[in-house]
């Protein structure tokens, strides 16, 4: 497990109250909720790499061991095309399952666009 470090935090009372309510809703401790929100913000900004899913090895080319992504991160892209003929054969659970599977492979859905009678789903992941 990663080493935890104590850090005193001065925070606006209104923000603290909102975080406490949010943590209660998510059944987390306040401290865990603050760490969750910070980690999510760091990942979304590209400053912290998401850990690989359990059972998936790190990329063999990775040598730095630095958990922070550099400004020159290379991305791999994938486009899924969902056309109208497929709609009759799929349930929303099927789409959810496919997105979960792709997410476990490191893919992130970044945009969906309607194109005529189809949807284009754009995904990316670090190379």
User: Do 99 and 109 meet the contact criterion of CB atoms below 8 Å apart?
Assistant: yes
Q: Is residue 18 part of a domain?
A: yes
Cα dist. 23→7, 11, 29, 68 in Å? 19, 16, 6, 26
Mean pLDDT of the chain: 78
User: Do 48 and 39 meet the contact criterion of CB atoms below 8 Å apart?
Assistant: yes
Q: Is residue 58 part of a domain?
A: no
- Cα of first residue to Cα of last residue in the chain, in angstroms, is 25
| 84 against 58, higher pLDDT | 84
Q: How many CA atoms lie within 13 A of 6 on its CB side?
A: 1
How far is it, in rounded angstroms, from Cα 122 to Cα 76? 11
Q: Is residue 37 part of a domain?
A: yes
How far is it, in rounded angstroms, from Cα 106 to Cα 100? 10
Cα dist. 65→45, 59, 69, 86, 104 in Å? 19, 11, 10, 42, 21
Domain extent at residue 31: 13-44
Q: Is residue 54 part of a domain?
A: no
The residues pairing with 113 across neighbouring beta strands, listed in sequence order, are: 120
User: Do 23 and 33 meet the contact criterion of CB atoms below 8 Å apart?
Assistant: yes
At 90, is the pLDDT very low, low, confident or very high (cuts 50, 70, 90)? low
Q: Is residue 66 part of a domain?
A: no
The pLDDT, as a whole number, for residue 68 is 47
Statement: the pTM of the whole predicted model exceeds 0.75: no
On whether both 38 and 81 belong to a single domain, the answer is no
Q: Is residue 69 part of a domain?
A: no
Domains contained in the chain, number = 2
Q: pLDDT over 90 for what percent of the chain?
A: 12
């Amino acid at each position: 497990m990663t080493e935890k470090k104590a850090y005193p935090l001065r925070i606006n009372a209104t923000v603290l109250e909102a975080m406490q309510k949010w943590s209660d809703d998510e059944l987390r401790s306040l401290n865990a909720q603050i760490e969750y929100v910070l980690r999510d913000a760091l990942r979304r900004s590209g400053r912290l790499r998401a850990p690989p899913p359990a059972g998936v090895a790190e990329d063999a080319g990775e040598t730095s061991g630095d958990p922070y992504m550099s400004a020159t991160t290379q991305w791999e892209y994938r486009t899924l095309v969902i056309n109208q003929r497929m709609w009759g054969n799929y349930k929303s659970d099927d789409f959810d399952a496919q997105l979960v599977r792709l997410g476990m492979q490191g893919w992130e859905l970044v945009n969906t666009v309607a194109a005529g009678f189809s949807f284009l789903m754009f995904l990316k992941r670090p190379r």
